Chain A
Amino acid sequence: MSIVTLQIGQCGNQIGGELFSTILEDAFGKASTVSKADNEAYIDEVLERFFHRPDSGKRNEVIPRARAVMVDMEPKAIAQSMLDAKKSGRWVYPKGQQFCQKRGSGNNWAHGYCKHGPQAQEAVMDMVQREAEKCDRMSGFLVFMSLAGGTGSGVGAYITECLRDHFPHSFITNQVVAPYNTGEVIVQNYNALLTLSHLYQSSDALLILENDQVHKICMQLLGIKNISFRDINKVIAHKLASVLQPVKPIGSNFPSYMHSNHISDMLTSIVPHPEYKLLTMKNIPQMSERSIAYSTFTWSGLLKHLRQMLIANAAMEEGIDWQVKVKSSTSHSSAIQHNKSIANLLLLRGKDVNTANVDGFQESCLYAPWVPSDAVCSVWATPRPFNLYEKSATLLSNSQSPIAALNTVVGKAWNMFASRAYVHQYIRYGLAEEDFVDSFAGLEQVIKSYSEL
């Protein structure tokens, strides 16, 4: 099954390119713990999933083409991404699947949504259609975009609505990058507010990544001194790949990966209710290449840390608060409230994966009381290691985890809105004050729903 990706805006295009590179690096990397045949099956599935190979020639003869549609309102980011891909020698972007204009959206969501979006619609949807037709079987769309800028957020929100109209039965996942708390775009909270409230109507799931958290991972876990956007994007790509690379539901008897983790299966298990569609990812281990050689992992150790990361809502394994304990919903002790989930998806990759004990993630007190206890946590696994890690685990979680950040965004935007600062810039492109109020109301509802789990 294949996934068609849309990369929108500078951030979207950078992350998309990084993801394809990471995926191939992993696929063609060392995999000594699995049989050759298994590894071949894995590689085939990876290629099928993310790349189109014209004439279905031998793997080594035809350079794979990413199943991607690139959209940006100015040409520089797309040109750079295409060049990087070509230089890698491993893959390229398909020809003619790039849509760019000459003038950017200028950090203005309204410029992207009300002006550029409608102008781009026809051409972009043609490209999407063309890309979809190249797939034998398509499992859904994955949209990469940022929340802060104008193009990623505005055009991204608009194009997602178009996707929903044209492909009412396909699964649409939006991978959104939340900007640094300070210092990227001043109107970022407005842009994020408008984007999230619109995506909440049209998308099936919002996979949220926060630059601040990824920055910490680069600094503390990977030991990078001068962190660049490329480093940030690499970590994001790594996290995404750890979810998107082939893996099978535990207990499934299919020999190959052919019938494994489609976006659709993933979303069915993790988004059980349309009111709750905010997803986050937690990975373990994450370390620099140098450190891997000196580290050993056990499944029990990894999963114990991962579980604590979940309940203490930590973005990485360093500095987890071990004081946070799960308590039953009846007791009213003063202990810190743990992070409650709707559903979790645990992905395990590596040696002896069958020995991993995942009971810690199945406890019903981790979850909202109304979730049926057999639907709370799915476990998918593969003995094939991921990206140099002998053993690694990823938790895709639908929980309260992103609510704090969301709450901050809404709070700051509301403060600004109370002074009507910057609002004239949006009105200029056709948005009204009521549109802001509607978006505020929508997101306050989401915050409330999650907070009351």
Chain B
Amino acid sequence: MTQSIVVQVGQCGNQIGCRFWDLALREHASRNKHGVFDEPLSSFFRNVDTRYDDPANIPIGIGKNKIKTLKARAVLIDMEEGVVNDLLKGPLGDVFDCRQLITDVSGSGNNWAVGHMMYGQQYREEITESIRRAAEQCDCLQCFFVLHSMGGGTGSGVGTSVLSLLSDEFPDVYRFVTAVYPSAEDDVITSPYNSVLAMHQLTQHADCVLPVENQALYDICHKISQALPPEKTGKRMVGGHSRVKADSAVTASAGGLVKKSDEKPFDKMNNIVANLLLNMTSSARFEGSLNVDLNEITMNLVPFPQLHYLVSSLTPLYALSDINLPPRRLDQMFSDAFSKDHQLIKADPKHSLYLACALMLRGNVEISDVRRNIERLKSSLKFIHWNQEGWKTGLCSVPPVGQPYSLLTLANNTCIRHTFSDLKDRFVKLYKRKAHVHHYTHVDGMEMSQFSESLESLTTLMKEYEGLETNMGRIVDDVHRLQIAS
């Protein structure tokens, strides 16, 4: 079994991370009733003996040792103290120890250059040391998950600096980035700069990027809250809605360590991202009849090195309380996964071109269900001519908490270019007047050329997707095959 390390950077990264660890513990607790430290648990957690000053790792052995104290395989980085301190004081505090934390007090002021150039350099050694320590505690390190936002200063700046550090120091370990893209109505004025500068780094150094967007997450939360039964008594029940199980929603934290009263405003949205990470890694952690290891995701979904941005969707958003599972409902889950309002970014993959698509299933689903639905949906989706059968499937037999089954789709789809072009437009609007640029160039090591290079890189990336899309719908002749001389 392989292990993964989560590097959470900045306010947003740490808040998502917090939700991830809470839900990860909840998921393992529901599977692992006897409290043993088993292989699945070891992929994100260490079992340690805290009686020692430097808590000693308890080896996994044959997976039958009792859990003593669980420590997350995580590195927490923030250039202010607030969020990380809250995390430590909260119920999850015990999962981290102080040597996994790197904080400063002054923040990055929503400036990518401050995060990337200044703090990135200043903390490089400390961060390297911390990650190295986490890596040494792994038996076989497979993957880094870097969580950060694109709009702020610390997440985008320090986050991408960590990413390039990882590619230097651990070239063989996969780098997955979950990046939260700013919505059009973002309150940070420099967020287009930060995002475009950060994207240049992501395109160069990440193996795989899972963009998510606040607006899309917010809309999903809204959709769920409408379907859920009313919380306050006295509110009239609307027919049918009471059948939804409140605990089963992808936004729910029930059963986790954080109490409902302590829930923060973004927690619901962050839970969606946490579930994305859990469902993506479930097949690598648990058993199933068709396992998908993390390295298979990049292998199957990334046909060209730079086109590694994957659009994701989660279904079902909630489970119904009646436990019968007519195939119709299962099929609905597959249909929903391709609809616009279930995507974790504001995009419409159905009307763009697919380069490849992965279906990661959990729970009570058989290969024949998957085949039936692929056949059914195939005609409504457009795949690139050399990858007409570009489907990758995974079957994990352990369902997510509260749901009988679930589907995560990861799509390499040209619709992502619209997200990029919106970002570019916002960037250009500021950059035309060189607004706020001086805040960046004041920082040591930051050159004006960074702006133009990053813009160039983004434009190239968009062009590549666009170039592929021009062939959409056209019949492309098969290429002449090799002929054998007789």
Binding site for B on A (CB under 8 A): 10, 74-77, 80, 102-108, 111, 150, 180-187, 215, 219, 225-230, 232, 410-412, 414-416, 418-419, 421-422, 424-425, 437, 440-441, 444-445, 448
The size of the chain B interface, using a CB distance under 8 A, is 49
CB A181 to nearest CB in B, in angstroms, measures 6
**Residues of A contacting B392 in the complex (Cβ-Cβ under 8 angstroms):** 107, 183-186
Known pairs A181-B389, A226-B368, A228-B366 / 8 extra A-B pairs, C-beta < 8 Å: A74-B291, A74-B293, A102-B139, A185-B296, A412-B388, A415-B479, A424-B304, A437-B482
Of A225, A229, A415, A437, which is within 8 A of B290 by CB? A229
CA distance A76 to B283 in the complex (A): 11
In the complex, chain A residues whose CB is within 8 Å of the CB of B478: 411, 414-415
Question: What residues on B are CB-neighbors of A226 within 8 Å?
Answer: 366, 368-369
17 contacts between A and B (CB under 8 A): A75-B1, A102-B140, A103-B140, A106-B296, A182-B374, A182-B378, A183-B374, A226-B368, A227-B366, A227-B367, A410-B481, A412-B386, A415-B385, A425-B299, A440-B481, A440-B482, A444-B483
Query: Which of these, A103, A107, A230, A422, contacts B142 with CB under 8 Å?
Result: A103
Chain A, residue nearest B371 (CB): A183
A429: shortest Cβ distance to chain B, in Å?
A: 11
Do A186 and B479 have beta carbons less than 8 Å apart?
Answer: no
Please tell me which one of the listed residues B39, B293, B304, B356 contacts residue A186 in the complex, with CB atoms under 8 A apart.
Answer: B356
Contact B371 A74 (CB under 8 A): no
| Interface status of B287 (Cβ within 8 A of chain A) | yes
Check A80/B287 contact, CB under 8 A, given A108-B299, A425-B299: yes
Known: A229-B289, A415-B386. A187 touches B484 (CB 8 A): no
Q: Please name all residues of chain A whose beta carbon is closer than 8 Å to the beta carbon of B299 when the two chains form the complex.
A: 106-108, 150, 187, 422, 425
Expressed in whole angstroms, the minimum distance between the Cβ of A48 and any Cβ of chain B is 32
B314 shortest CB reach to chain A, Å:
20
Question: Which residue of A is nearest B290, CB measured?
Answer: A229
CB distance from B281 to the nearest CB of A (A): 14
- State whether B386 touches A421 (Cβ < 8 A): yes
Docked Cα-Cα span, A422 to B356, in Å, equals 11
Total residue contacts A-B, CB cutoff 8 A: 139
Ordered nearest first, which 6 A-B pairs have the shortest CB separation? A106-B295, A102-B140, A421-B303, A227-B368, A183-B391, A418-B479
Which residues of B in the span 292-335 have a Cβ within 8 Å of any Cβ on A? Answer: 293-296, 298-305
Nearest chain A residue, comparing its CB with the CB of B368: A227
Shortest Cβ distance from B294 into A: residue: A106
Chain B residue, CB-CB nearest to A428: B305
B446 within 8 A of A: no
Chain B residue with the shortest CB-CB distance to A452: B486
Give Cα A209–Cα B24 distance, bound, in whole angstroms. 40
Cβ of B482 and Cβ of A106 under 8 Å apart? no
Name the B residues within 8 Å of A227 (CB-CB). Answer: 366-368
Please give, as numbers and ranges, the residues of chain A lying within 8 Å of B450 by CB-CB distance: none
Contact across chains for B305 and A424 when beta carbons are under 8 A apart: yes
B370 touches A183 (CB 8 A): yes
* Closest Cβ–Cβ distance, residue B7 to chain A (whole Å): 20
Knowing A186-B391, A228-B289, A410-B481 are in contact, say whether A215-B140 is a contact too (CB < 8 A): no
Q: Which residues of A contact B295 (CB under 8 A)?
A: 103-108, 111
Shortest distance from the beta carbon of B481 to any chain A beta carbon, whole Å: 5
B371 & A215 in contact (Cβ 8 Å cutoff): yes
Tell me the smallest distance from the CB of A278 to a CB of chain B, in Å. 17
A residues in contact with B301, CB < 8 Å: 186
Q: In the complex, A226→B287 CA distance in Å?
A: 19
A219, B305: Cα distance in complex, Å = 40
Q: Is B421 an interface residue (CB 8 A)?
A: no
Tell whether B387 is near chain A: CB-to-CB under 8 Å: yes
Q: How near does chain B come to A384, taking the closest CB pair, in angstroms?
A: 33
- How distant is A102 from chain B, measured CB to nearest CB, in Å? 4
A106→B293 contact, CB < 8 A: yes
Q: Which of A107, A186, A215, A448 contacts B484 (CB under 8 A)?
A: A448
* Contact flag A416-B386 (CB < 8 Å), given A104-B296, A184-B392, A227-B366: yes
**Chain A contacts for B481, CB-based, 8 A:** 410-411, 414, 440, 444
Which of chain B's residues 388-412 have a Cβ closer than 8 Å to chain A? 388-393, 395
Residue from the set B290, B294, B304, B371 with the largest chain A CB neighbour count within 10 Å: B371
Q: A102-B2, A106-B296, A229-B367 are in contact. Are A444 and B386 (CB under 8 A)?
A: no
B367:A186 contact, CB within 8 angstroms? no
CA distance A227 to B368 in the complex (A): 5
Q: Chain A CB within 10 Å — which of B2, B289, B356 has the most?
A: B289
Which residue of B has the minimal Cβ distance to A218?
B368
Cα–Cα, bound, A219→B142 (Å): 39
For A444, list chain B residues within 8 Å (CB).
481-484
